[in-house]
Structure 1
Amino acid sequence: MTEAQIIEKIKHGLALSSELSDLEFKTARSNIPNDIWKSISAFANRRGGGLIVFGVSQELNAVVGCDCLDMMQRKLIEYFNDKMSFVLRPEYHVINFEGKTILAVEVPQCPKDYMPCWYKPVGLPNGAYIREGNTSRRITDSEFRTYIATSKEFQFDLSEAANTTRSNLSDIKILGLLKKRELEVKRGAESRFDEGLLQNLGILSKFDGEYKPTVAGYLVFAKDIPQERTPYERYVIRCVRYAGNNAASEIIDSADIKGTLDVQLDDSYKFILKNIRKTSIIVGTKRLEQFEYPEAAIRELIANAVIHRDYKIIETYTQIKVFSDRIEILNPGSLPPGVTVENIRDAQFSRNSIIAGRLRDLDYLEEYGRGIDIVLKKMAEWRLPSPLFRNLVNNFEVILLGRKYRKLNERQVKLIDTLLVKGKITVQDCQKILKGTPRATINKDLRDLKNIGVITPKGASVSVFYTLAF
């Protein structure tokens, strides 16, 4: 916009004593509001973007001017470059209007493929706003689902698999898939499958006018080992068996699991079973051997790690750590938007829907959509505690506790869940978390957790606090 167009728009708003669908006033004489991200998000998610004018008071319907323009622009640049989900390039206009200096900022529309644009410190969906009339409001759950259904930000497995061509896919494996789906196999003169059909399955897509493998297509159907090609070197599942209950103990087995995703799933599963104990149980008149952890729960959690890994993160591995008293699975990428530790059992959202679909076709996800339910059910059948979940900034962790934790009560599990989030707790914190529980009961719960090696007390007696021992 030109300076004249901006002034005309401001005059129009002042004449109406109102902001507009593409115009917002901020008094902000010497600083920017802490919630300016709401306006940035709303305009970025609006067709055509919008204009934020600093130095005009909506309440007074008057121009009040701005001080500290340099500082204000530096803070705004930080928001646009670092704090929003998509880097936006606004236009800044310092304008003299009615004898006062104002700052007008043109917020561009976020590319449709990367909507919604949200405020990263708050996350999704609460950090995403849209414009409705002349006000900004948070997107609804329904609007959020509509956005992510078409957003490339959440369809990375459909993007182009870098440094690959159609020839890098295994026709034998693809044929197996098509037969399982009972699809007609059409071959051309070069014995290649119908590319339109493979596009419908998300295995191929057109990039620059040429059919090439998608990320999902290559990771599931590669004829070679993906991890031997850039940039897939760290799409590895790193498995380690420790002798003790912490990472400082001796490593007695380890493996970097490579290959296509189905191979990684199988080999990781075999590694865990090889490295956990078996015990004998009596069923009726028969003596049976049983693994320390339910096999079905282990397999589901590995499948979930493969499906929900954030494959945009190429700097680190999926990690499986088998300790003497537990199993930890740490996966790159925090929970998908809209999914929390609290609603993880009911949420139905996959970060990589094509990967999930093709692995289901290959019979690796027979109970697709019920994975967490199966884990909870099987752990209960084994009389083991429910799995612990920890949602971190760039990782998600699941912890399966072994038999030594069988006697944990609900209060103790609640304290462990809190420690996974907060990192430490005091007795006073426990009284708030376990409202109504006698102090003596809380002390006994903490003592028992300490004795079985779950928590560690730290600090002096007056200011003692507890952290997880693992």
Structure 2
Amino acid sequence: MLLFGKNPQAYLPQSGVVFVKFPGVEPRGEAGRVGYGRREEINGPLARVIERTWQVILEEMRVGAIVKGLEREEVLEYPEFAVREALVNAVCHRDYRLRGRRIEVRKFTDRLEIISPGGLAGFITLDNIIEEHFSRNPRLVQGLFQWGYIEELGLGIDRMIEDMVAAGHPIPKFNATAYSFSVAMSNVRERRAVQNITLTTLTPSPAAGSTVDVTLAPGLTVNERQARALQYVRDHGRITNKDLQVLCPTVTAETLRIDLSDLVEKGVLMRVGEKKGTYYILK
């Protein structure tokens, strides 16, 4: 019914979405009064709900521009994939047994929040949400996957984070209670682009066990192992401790861990995830 019904909300009124735009950073109207700038209720089968909600968000997003050479490129306030993924996740994984609340999309001047009724499903926690996958509503997930709304099962959160960071935004904030799960995306662009790395000097030093430093930015250098790690990230989008161990098989795991931690401290890489699910991306 949720996928193919003409009006699922006639039977499941909680299955729609409510979009609300606020004029500031708090859920209030102008001058702190109770109210909002725009409110829209979105109903229909889930595919229509997703598409209409995305259109409403898109209508309210600010559009900037960057100049690359002689071309001007428009840049959305939030990366498209990150927003759509958060929205699709909310639709797929909300608890449809909770009848008193719909999915809420709240747009503030500094952030976008998507709140899904129902806590995290199964064994998923905030600590393992990146590396683990569990579907509360597997038939909905499979249906939306077949229709192309989900690119690859279990990888959406990873790419959401990567797209936000790649666009210069902070990592989205995830929050879970017993009765809701929310994603908050900041529109602040605070990340600087990492300068190109010159790898032409990456030849083994004649002295055994020594490394060759490569200039990354004025006053900042990385050793050969770190340069290999950065090149790997540029080629593959991310790197794990195991990946670096394959690149540097004669070096101890602890030394490689220190190398990656050093790149995080220098503001070159960002660590994502915890424990076995940890990986690193360009900051």
TM-score bracket, shorter-length normalisation: 0.5 to 0.7
Aligned-pair CA distance for 1:407: 6.3
Q: What is residue 16 of structure 1 aligned with on the other side? A: none
Q: What is residue 15 of structure 1 aligned with on the other side? A: none
Q: TM-score, normalised by structure 1?
A: 0.39
Distance 1:337 1:357 in 2: 17
Q: Which amino acid aligns with 1:316?
A: R
Is 1:226 matched up with 2:8?
Answer: yes
Q: TM-score, normalised by structure 2?
A: 0.64
Q: Which has the higher Rg, Structure 1 or Structure 2?
A: 1
What is the aligned counterpart of 1:328 among 103, 107, 113? 113
What is the aligned counterpart of 2:82 among 291, 294, 297? 297
Q: CA RMSD in A?
A: 1.5
Q: Secondary structure at the match of 2:86?
A: helix
Q: Which amino acid aligns with 2:8?
A: P
Distance 1:339 1:290, change over 3 A: same
1:225-374 paired onto structure 2 within 5 Å: 225-227=7-9, 229-230=10-11, 232-250=12-30, 251-374=36-159
* Cα contact 2:168–2:191 (8 A) shared by 1: no
Write the deviation string for residues 171-210 of structure 1: whole angstroms up to 9, x where unpaired. Answer: xxxxxxxxxxxxxxxxxxxxxxxxxxxxxxxxxxxxxxxx
Distance 1:271 1:283 in 2: 29
Distance 1:333 1:284 in 2: 47
Q: Which amino acid aligns with 2:163?
A: K
Larger relative CO (CA 8 A, sep 6+): 1 or 2? Answer: 2
Aligned-pair CA distance for 1:243: 1.1
1:27-176 paired onto structure 2 within 5 Å: none
* Cα contact 2:118–2:181 (8 A) shared by 1: yes
Distance 1:337 1:275 in 2: 34
Write the deviation string for residues 373-431 of structure 1: whole angstroms up to 9, x where unpaired. Answer: 11011001111000001111200011001116x269xxxxxxxxxxxxxxxxxxxxxxx
Aligned-pair CA distance for 1:255: 0.8
Aligned-pair CA distance for 1:285: 2.4
* Cα contact 2:14–2:98 (8 A) shared by 1: no
Figure out how many residues of one structure are paired with residues of the other and give that number. 187
Q: What is residue 197 of structure 1 aligned with on the other side? A: none
Runs of 4+ off more than 6 Å: none
Q: Secondary structure at the match of 2:37?
A: strand
Write the deviation string for residues 316-355 of structure 1: whole angstroms up to 9, x where unpaired. Answer: 1110000000001111000012111111001111111110
Aligned-pair CA distance for 1:282: 1.4
Q: Secondary structure at the match of 1:234?
A: helix
Q: What is residue 105 of structure 1 aligned with on the other side? A: none
Write the deviation string for residues 86-126 of structure 1: whole angstroms up to 9, x where unpaired. Answer: xxxxxxxxxxxxxxxxxxxxxxxxxxxxxxxxxxxxxxxxx
Distance 2:39 2:138 in 1: 30
- Using the aligned pairs only, state the percent identity: 32
Aligned-pair CA distance for 1:254: 1.6
Distance 1:283 1:368, change over 3 A: farther
* Cα contact 2:19–2:40 (8 A) shared by 1: yes
Q: Which amino acid aligns with 1:219?
A: L
Distance 1:375 1:353 in 2: 21
* Cα contact 2:3–2:46 (8 A) shared by 1: yes
Q: What is residue 209 of structure 1 aligned with on the other side? A: none
Q: Secondary structure at the match of 1:349?
A: coil
